[in-house]
Amino acid sequence: MNLQKLSPWNWFKREEQGGSGDLLPARGSDDPLTRMHREIDRLFEGFFGAIDRPSDLQHGLVLRPSIDIAESKKSYRISVEVPGVDEEDIDLTLDGDALIISGEKRQESEEDEDGYHRIERSYGSFRRVLTLPSDADPDGITANFRKGVLKIVIPRSKEGNGSRKRIEIG
């Protein structure tokens, strides 16, 4: 009996192998404050275990879009939540069996009233790597973007393909 068929497919195995390297800081890694923040996080994660810090997402330190994956007999449907990111700032690439979703969020606000001028900018990059199952048809992948949600449809087939391909979002 093949127990492999009973276990669910691990879409995130490439991401897990890369560790936290797929999370990119909003500032350069040579920034001493960012290095200290990472070191404190590493110490706490070692003691308490890994915990999600939603406040980091709100303050622009790390972007990690949420991903929902659904499957039917004919296709896989992936939804990626990227609020505040423009369609032209998202790149969707297929490299062998790895679907790479990357992009950058740029947000600026400016306020000028009563003798003061304030400008706030936040930037952050993200990269998610999904490992496609062997029955995914890379030639039939389609994607569209609407209201901050990237929707990807991957048809299922019996054959796989090992080529690199850029997927247009539209």
Task: Assign 18 a pLDDT band (cuts: 50, 70, 90).
Answer: low
User: Domain coordinates of the chain in residue numbers?
Assistant: 10-19+63-166
> What's the pLDDT at 20?
44
Q: Which stretches does DSSP call E strand in the chain? A: 67-71, 75-81, 90-95, 98-113, 116-131, 142-146, 149-155, 164-166
Task: Assign 9 a pLDDT band (cuts: 50, 70, 90).
Answer: low
H helix runs in 2-118, sequence order = 13-18, 32-48, 54-58
Q: What is the pLDDT of residues 63-108, one digit of tens each?
A: 788 899 998 889 999 999 988 888 898 999 998 889 999 988 877 7
| Residue type (1 letter), 111 | E
Within its chain, how far is the Cα of 103 from the centroid? Answer: 8
> What's the pLDDT at 142?
93
Q: Are 94 and 130 in contact (CB under 8 A)?
A: no
Instruction: Single out the residue of 28, 67, 84 nearest to residue 152, CA to CA.
Output: 67
The average confidence (pLDDT) of the chain is: 76
Mean pLDDT of 144-153: 93
Mean pLDDT of 51-55: 50
Mean pLDDT of 52-57: 47
Spatial neighbors of 102 by CB under 8 A, at least 6 apart, are 90, 91, 93, 125, 126, 127, 128
Domain formed by 10-19+63-166, architecture? Sandwich (2.60)
Tally of CA atoms within 13 A in the half-sphere of 121 that contains its CB: 4
Q: What is the pLDDT of residues 105-143, one digit of tens each?
A: 877 788 888 888 888 877 788 889 999 888 889 889 999
Instruction: Single out the residue of 142, 143, 144, 138 nearest to residue 157, CA to CA.
Output: 138
pLDDT at 158 over 50: yes
